[in-house]
Amino acid sequence: MRFVGFGKEKLMDLFTDQQPTVQQIVKDAYLLKSFALRNQTQLLADLTQLLEASPLRNMVTPGGFSMSVAMSNCGELGWVSDRKGYRYATHDPLTDKPWPAMPNSFRTLAQQSASAVGYENFHPDACLINQYKVGARMSLHQDKNELDFNQPIVSVSLGLPAIFQFGGFERADKTVSLLLEHGDVVVWGGESRLRFHGILPVKAGQNTALNCRINLTFRRAGK
């Protein structure tokens, strides 16, 4: 066990002795357990730095509701939502500046995760950063704002655990639950790419000084 700082928060104890494993969840979807633990210090340092340039904020849905998940982005393209709709944008609407560059630690983890399960040419141009404070959730949806659904999605979970739900290809299809813990990576490719999915309300937890859940979602959004 070693101690890792997160920004100006208090030190936290994180277990770094778990060994990474790969398991298939459904066809074309893989859980890479503990895959992000090895570089967590660098990931969290890079995350802290880029959030200073483009802070987390609660975006508004086209319907006018404030999302319970706070978001930011890095990379060439960032996912945004406002009264006009959901889309990818080159600039942060909060600062009118380009999104911060994708840190090498982020890009390398995403590419190594994708290639570990057979997606060799993943070049993400977008990384959405989702922050779930206790109680935040993401209701069942599909990711359809990207141009090429043949590209996989890589998701990295940090901090508090959460129950991820994935369903079928129609909203009413039954869902299966999966616990995502600190350091877990999921790769969604092939036919799993268009499955409905969501996150149940995050519960308060002990044993971490990151008193929230952070999810990094890597995508190829543009051409």
Burial of 151 (0-12, 13-18, 19+ CB in 10 A): buried
The site that binds ligand MD3 (CB under 6 A) totals a number of residues, namely 16
Q: Does 153 bind ligand MD3 (CB under 6 A)?
A: yes
Q: Does 220 bind ligand MD3 (CB under 6 A)?
A: no
Residues 2 and 133: their CA atoms lie apart, in Å, by 24
Q: Does 188 bind ligand MD3 (CB under 6 A)?
A: yes
Q: Does 193 bind ligand MD3 (CB under 6 A)?
A: yes
1/204 with CB nearer ligand MD3: 204
Angle (deg, nearest 10), helices 40-53 and 104-116: 130
DSSP state letters, 12-77: EEE---PPPEEEEEETTEEEEETTTSTTHHHHHHHHHHHHHHS--B-PBPTTSPBPSSEEEEESSB
Q: Does 182 bind ligand MD3 (CB under 6 A)?
A: no
Joined tokens for residue 12:
């936290």
Q: Is 139 in contact with 166 (CB distance < 8 Å)?
A: no
5/133 with CB nearer ligand MD3: 133
Q: Does 197 bind ligand MD3 (CB under 6 A)?
A: yes
Q: Does 215 bind ligand MD3 (CB under 6 A)?
A: yes
Residues 91 and 123: their CA atoms lie apart, in Å, by 20
Q: Does 138 bind ligand MD3 (CB under 6 A)?
A: yes
Among residues 188, 42, 10, which one has the least CA distance to residue 108?
A: 42
143/184 with CB nearer Fe ion: 143
- List 126, 136, 199, 212, residue binding ligand MD3 (CB under 6 A): 199
**Strand 97-98 relative to strand 126-132, pairing:** unpaired
- List 33, 107, 195, 220, residue binding ligand MD3 (CB under 6 A): 195
- List 28, 46, 143, 146, residue binding ligand MD3 (CB under 6 A): 143
Residues 115 and 121: their CA atoms lie apart, in Å, by 8
Kindly identify the residues of this chain, within the stretch 57-76, that bind ligand MD3 according to CB under 6 A: none
Q: Does 192 bind ligand MD3 (CB under 6 A)?
A: yes
Question: Which stretches of the chain bind ligand MD3, using CB under 6 A?
Answer: 128, 130, 138, 143, 153, 155, 166, 186, 188, 192-193, 195, 197, 199, 215, 217
